[in-house]
Copies of this chain bind each other. A is one copy, B any other.
Amino acid sequence: MSNKIPDNVDKSCGCLIEDLLTKSEDSKCTGQPENSDYNKRERIMVDPDVEKISLDFYQKKFTDGLPIIPPTRSRVNKFYQYSKGDPQEVMAILPPLQGKATREKIAVNGVMAGCLPHFMPLLEKAVMGLGDEKFNLAGVNSTTHPVAVCTIINGPVRNELEFNSKSGCLGPGNLPNATIGRAIRFCLINIAGAVPGIGDHSTMGSSSKYSYCFAENEEKSPWEPLNVERNILADSGAVTLLGMEAAHNVNDHRSQNASDLLDTIIHTAATPGCNNSHVPGELLVIMSPEHARTISDEGWEKKDVKKYIHQHAVVPVNLADRGGRKLDEIWCKENMVPITRKIDDVVIVVAGGPGRHTMLAHGFGTSCESVTLPLD
């Protein structure tokens, strides 16, 4: 195959403006015209070539490798219309590289990711959450572990912005889910310095670092949603940021009662390889409406489910103590260690469409606490 690839194919030329000019005699590619002859002609400002900008920004390590919307000033200005205050105001300082997350930088990264202008207030709030000390973004960004930022949306904003909380909500196919998750990743790369292989040392990385944002299916949940559980009024929207691995599946079609179903879940959750086994911390449990209904039909409240999982998801100490940081004895009881420190480390949301599945995501362990912020 090697002889098929010219050295310069689409990668270094920067001349794709030629594509724009089909009938003009002049196909010289000069973004910044300098000769006087050139300047006598009629100039028409056009949007930058998307292929060229995408490749240029990729080569500068500003992107994930996928196409971006060129962040022209006019596009960025549209985002400001949905924001309040000075574009140069610093909303957060993001570690490890202590980047100043100004409104301007948030908007530029949001445009690139494909966000719509009215997502701006939510983006600002998410970035502010990332700067919360308890989130330990310095560790989350730089670790060899495949932890990503998982963003969960609650409240009326879910429907106003048309988030997906149903079939396929963790995956592609919905613009707000896809672009907001991606914009957060771009902020991590370009503001916090989490460039893969440079400021992000994830040994293998994770698909969830492309985009990992979804809404809770509050309409189909038998329980109070996450924002309410965290003392935010149901009328307010909320954005929750968690440091999580990609979610993996618990297929249970056969359990007809709560404890059987929860046993499938806890035995899938309690594994020695996750970070929670040696540095117990948060566990995200994303339950489908059908699974949640099987459990709630027996009268279980959300707190009962959290308590059951906290008490029963335990790993033998000899298998658990294999992570980077030494397992602290304070967590252990009778040679077993629970993968969560406390009941509220079990974070339960209901999401998804038809089907009998729960998805689990292990956290980064003791070193990252989720953050929930109310939306205005």
Contact = CB atoms under 8 A, between A and B. Distances in A.
A196 B170 contact: no
Interface in A212-265: 212, 214, 237, 245-255, 260, 263-265
A85 to B, nearest CB: 15
Interface stretch (A28-36, A67-75, A87-95, A129-137): A67-75
A66 to B, nearest CB: 5
Nearest to A351: B204
A302 interface: no
Interface residues of A, number: 130
Given A206-B246, A207-B207, A362-B248, A24 B4 contact: no
Interface stretch (A110-118, A293-301, A329-337, A340-348): A110-118
B203 A9 contact: no
Interface string A33-60: 0000000000111110111001100100
B273 A61 contact: no
Interface centre among A63, A174, A203, A252 (most CB of B within 10 A): A203
A113 to B, nearest CB: 7
B253 A66 contact: no
Given A21-B44, A170-B146, A210-B207, A249 B275 contact: yes
A267 interface: yes
B202 A168 contact: yes
Given A170-B204, A204-B353, 16 more contacts: A50-B70, A145-B249, A145-B357, A146-B359, A167-B196, A168-B205, A171-B209, A172-B209, A172-B210, A203-B352, A207-B208, A207-B247, A210-B210, A248-B248, A252-B323, A254-B321
6 contacts: A9-B118, A47-B50, A146-B249, A168-B204, A249-B274, A268-B272
Interface of A: 1-2, 4-5, 9-11, 19-24, 43-47, 49-51, 54-55, 58, 61, 63-70, 72, 74-75, 78, 82, 113-114, 116-118, 121, 144-146, 148, 156-157, 160-161, 166-179, 182, 185, 189, 195-197, 200-212, 214, 237, 245-255, 260, 263-265, 267-268, 271-275, 278, 286, 288, 319, 321-324, 351-360, 362, 375-376
